[in-house]
Amino acid sequence: MFIMFFFLLLFILMSDIFNPYQQSARLGIKYYPINLLRYFIQVVRTIFFRGATLVNMYPAFRVVIAFRVVATIWVVSYRKRNLPIQPV
């Protein structure tokens, strides 16, 4: 439970909602593009501040859809490997 909280807090802090990501550590800047929360916040900001349309939000949607496709393929292809049952 604590590990999940740690990663959730880390992703929220690195999503560019409080500080710009350029002020992060080098490791944070390196892994910034794979933070999905970043794209969600980017979409919300473009809607509220700029009155954006779907064309303006296409780059963020493209990344989220690509992640969704990869995650779906990974989940569908996963199979549980059962160990042989040993007689008691």
- Quote the pLDDT of residue 73: 92
* Tokens standing for residue 48: 């509220």
3-state DSSP assignment of residue 32? helix
* 67: helix, strand or coil: helix
- Per DSSP, 1 falls in state -
Q: What rounded mean pLDDT belongs to the chain?
A: 80
The residue whose two tokens read 């802090």 is 13
Please say whether the beta carbons of 65 and 86 come within 8 A. no
- DSSP code, position 86: P
80 pLDDT band, cuts 50/70/90, is low
What tens digit of pLDDT does each residue of 35-73 get?
A: 888 888 888 888 888 888 888 888 888 888 898 899 899
